[in-house]
Amino acid sequence: MTVPPGATSSPPASSPTSTADVRDIVGEAIAHKTPVRIVGRGTWLNAGRPVEAVRQVSLDGLSGIVDYTPGDLTLTARAGTTLAEIARATADHGQWLALEPWGGDAGSLGATAATATAGPMSGALGTPRDTVIGIEVVAGSGKLVRGGGRVVKNVAGFDLTRLMVGAWGTLGILTEVSVRLRGLPEQEATLALPVPNAPAPLAEFVTRLRSAPIAPLGLEIVSGRLAARLGLGQQAVVVARLAGNTDAVTAQRAALGGLGDVLEVPDGVWTAIRTAEPAEATVVRFSSTVARFHEVWLAADRLATAGDGYAHASVLRSSARVVLAHNDGALPDGVLELLRGATRDTRIFERLPAPLWPVLAPSRATDRLSTGVRAAFDPHHLLNPGILGEAHA
């Protein structure tokens, strides 16, 4: 029974509760040549990615913090552990896992690492690539493999950790993940200020923002439509997350005040931005150079408007995301064209209606090294086949 792309029914699921269970499941998949789809907590929506699998492996039973010594500022948890559980445990010690990816804290650590999903803090605090320090994984070969460790610096051996982060489960099923933590800032403040919408004033504004004496954890432009949903008015604004001790926050607040009329915003706005996306959506990310950032933002905003969605962009990462609330492939007139060619910058399709995958997002993992890596770790092509948009038998 192969599930066609875009089908809503799920294949039969198994719920391993231990690494040994995961090994059994992969062993069985190898024996019967039955492809599996790997699911964390199931919150990361199906993303429309056209996986063909006859069995679903849900990791919500493989959950719990394995090791957390606060003084080390590192934590190891089973892959299915929710980000919320980690946030609770670390907050008790004045620490946090500074990932805060799109989609909220109901998602799992394993899925966050596997998809390398970053959020609005990633420009300042890094992505899973920078934060994950070790992994345990059952490779598609059935072997149990460990990379990295539980310490913050480690160059022992070839870097299997980096290879697994962002591989979308196509090389192995993550069973355990170790991460570095940070101390929670003494104080935080979130401010919003209006953003010009004409190209030249916008470019100038962004330049002034970049050179201001601030060290924000997040600096996110949100389009008028998203601003309205967040209760920040009807126009595009930039939302800044300031942090540090009292003196540092006070000085940064004053510096931002020099750039426009600032509005104090509750800190909860960051969670609201991360969870604003509808369960079924088309999400495209455009990343650009610093010099072209303002153009990319304006193009993203136009695309969002045409597609009846919203856009937001990280000034620190020079990267914009467009969220369209369509997941049936029936995008409004002209939007498909815009998706194809909105800018000449790097386009990454995070989520798409299943029928559009082959149209818009042919796999980028087709070069000799990528196919070699896939064959080395998942020789039978059983793990999440198709999830990278790759053609397969």
Partner 1 sequence: MTHAADLADRLTEIVGPRGVLRRAGELVVYRSDGLPGYSKQPRLAVFPRTRDELVAVVRLLADQRVPFVPRGAGTGLSGGALADDVVLVGLNRLTRILSIDPVERLAVVEPGVVNVALTRAATPYGLHYAPDPSSQAACTIGGNVAENAGGPHCLKYGVTLNHVRAITAILPDGEIVRLGNAEGEVEGYDLLGAFIGSEGCFGIALDVTVKLSPNPQAIRTLLADFTSVDAAARATSEIIASGILPAALEMMDAATIRAVEASIYAAGYPVDAEAILLIEVDGLEAGLEADVARVEAMCSAAGARTVRVARDDAERARLWQGRKKAFGAMGRVSSHLVVQDAVIPRTRLPDILAAIREIAERQRITVCNVFHAGDGNLHPNIGYDANDPDEQARVHAAMREIMAACVAAGGTITGEHGIGLDKLDYMSLIFSEDSLAAMCRLREVFDPARRANPGKVVPVHSCREWHGAPRAAWSA
Among 19, 56, 58, 74, interactor with partner 1 by CB under 8 A: 74
- 35 is a contact residue toward partner 1 (CB under 8 A): no
204 binds partner 1 (CB under 8 A): no
In whole angstroms, the minimum distance from the beta carbon of 215 to partner 1 comes to 6
Q: Report if residue 391 touches partner 1, rule: CB under 8 A.
A: no
Tokens of 31: 């024996």
Q: Does 186 bind partner 1 (CB under 8 A)?
A: yes
Q: Which is nearer to partner 1, 171 or 191 (CB)?
A: 171
**Rounded CA gap, 389 and 393, in Å?**
13
Residue 182 is a binding residue for partner 1 (CB under 8 A): yes
Binding mask 239-258 for partner 1 (x = CB under 8 A): -----xxxxxxxxx------
Euclidean distance between CA atoms 92 and 265, whole angstroms: 25
Question: Smallest distance, Å, CB 288 to partner 1?
Answer: 6
CA angle 347-352-356, nearest 5°?
95
Contacts of partner 1 in 118-137 (CB under 8 A): 126, 129-130
Number of residues that this document lists for the chain: 393
> What region, left, alpha or beta, does residue 387 occupy, with left being phi > 0 and alpha being psi -120 to 50 degrees?
alpha
- Closer to partner 1 by Cβ: residue 65 or 163: 163
Interface residues for partner 1 in 304-343 (CB under 8 A)? 317-319
* Phi–psi pair at 384, nearest 5 degrees: 45, 45
Question: Of 162 and 229, which has the nearer Cβ to partner 1?
Answer: 162
Residues 157-176 touching partner 1, rule: CB under 8 A, are: 157-160, 162-163, 165-167, 171
DSSP 197-237: -SHHHHHHHHHHHHHSS---SEEEEE-HHHHHHTTS-SS-E
Answer for which of 183, 233, 257, 334 binds partner 1 (CB under 8 A) is 183
Count, in order, helices (H) and strands (E) of the chain.
14, 18
